[in-house]
Amino acid sequence: MKLGSFEIHTISDGTFKLDGGQMFGVVPKTLWERKAPADERNRIRLSLTCLLIRTGRHNILVETGLGDKFDAKFKDIYDVQHPTTLLAGLDDLGLEPEDIHMVINTHLHFDHCGWNTRRENGKTVPTFPRARYFIQRGEWERAANPTERERGSYREEFFLAAEPQTEFLEGDAEITPGIRLEVVPGHTRHLQCVSIDSGNQCAYFISDVVPTAAHLPYAWTTSIDLYPMETFENKKRLLPELVRKRALVIFPHDLEAPCVRLVENEGKIEVQAGGQVGR
C-alpha cells in the first residue's frame, strides 16, 4: 500500500485468544458478544498485526507479534495459531531479518514484542541483528519489574536480550523524517502510538488504545488498561483528529479489518463504509 513516498504493509503473526471480559472492561457480555463471539472458555480470537514501513531509506517494523518462545501450557491458555508468522510475512516481501533497520514496540506486552528475540543454540538473541529497537524508557522499566497487577502481561525473555540494541525514549520523538512516536497513556503509562506521515498522507498505528474496531466507542476500553480514564480521554481527543486527517488507522488485534479509515457519525466514531484498506 502506498502512503506518499512510503510503502506500508500489515503483516500477520497469526492469532491468539484472550478472555472476552478482559478485552471489554465494563461493557456487559450481552453487548460485546455481538461483536466478538466467545468460545466455551469465554475467550475471543484476536489478530496479531504488525506493520512494515518502507521509507525508501529504512525498513521499519512496528510490533513483532507473539513469536515462538512459549510452551504447550501457554499455547493452550492463549490458543496461539500460527498459519503464518511475522518472519514468513517478511520473507514474502523479500526481506530477511538483517534487512530491518528499526523496530518500534508500542509497549512490551507479550503479544507485541514476541519476535524482538529468538532462540539460537539454546541462547536468546535479538531477531533483527542490525536494527535499532525503540521503546519508552518507562515502559521498559515497568516490563522488566512488573507489579503483581501487570505480571501476566510481560515476558522478559521476549525483549530483554535486545537491550544492547535498544534506544530508550523519554517522551514523543520523530525517529526519522515522517515517523513520529507519541506517548498515549492509558493502557500502560508509557504506551507509544506511531504516526506515519508522507506527502500529505497519514497512517496511525493506534496500538491497544483501540485494539479492534469494536473498541471505537469511547467507553469500550479493556480491563487490562492500568489507567482506563486516560484511555477514555485520549480516545476522545485522538479519534476525531484521525477522522479530520483522513488517516489510515491500523488496529493491532482486529481479525476482519486491520487497516481502516474512520468517520464521525452523530458524535460516534465508526469505520467508514468500504473504508477497509487491504490487509
Q: Closest approach of Cβ 109 to Zn ion, in Å? A: 3
The residue of the chain with the least Cβ separation from Zn ion equals 109
Q: Closest approach of Cβ 16 to Zn ion, in Å? A: 12
Judged by CB under 5 A, which stretch of 6-14, 35-43, 104-112, 143-151 contacts Zn ion?
104-112
Residue number with CB closer to Zn ion (116 or 201): 116
Q: 251 near 206, Cβ under 8 Å?
A: yes
Other C-beta atoms closer than 10 Å to the C-beta of 132 total 17
Residue number with CB closer to Zn ion (106 or 198): 106
Residue number with CB closer to Zn ion (17 or 109): 109
Judged by CB under 5 A, which stretch of 94-102, 174-182, 208-216, 233-241 contacts Zn ion?
208-216
Residue number with CB closer to Zn ion (6 or 110): 110
Residue number with CB closer to Zn ion (201 or 207): 207
Judged by CB under 5 A, which stretch of 8-16, 91-99, 137-145, 206-214 contacts Zn ion?
206-214
Residue number with CB closer to Zn ion (97 or 215): 215
Residue number with CB closer to Zn ion (82 or 107): 107
Residue 73 Cα to chain centre, angstroms: 24
Binding residue (CB under 5 A) for Zn ion from 17, 82, 109, 118: 109
Q: Closest approach of Cβ 174 to Zn ion, in Å? A: 24
Binding residue (CB under 5 A) for Zn ion from 13, 63, 208, 230: 208
Counting contacts by CB under 5 A, is residue 230 touching Zn ion?
no
Handedness of CA 99, 67, 182, 5 (dihedral sign): positive
User: What CA–CA distance (Å, rounded) separates 91 from 112?
Assistant: 20
User: What CA–CA distance (Å, rounded) separates 23 from 21?
Assistant: 5
User: What CA–CA distance (Å, rounded) separates 236 from 125?
Assistant: 40
Q: How many residues bind Zn ion (CB under 5 A)?
A: 2
Give me 28's grid cell. Answer: 456487559
Other C-beta atoms closer than 10 Å to the C-beta of 36 total 18
Q: Closest approach of Cβ 78 to Zn ion, in Å? A: 13
Q: Closest approach of Cβ 187 to Zn ion, in Å? A: 6
Q: Closest approach of Cβ 230 to Zn ion, in Å? A: 14
| Site residues (vs Zn ion, CB under 5 A) | 109, 208
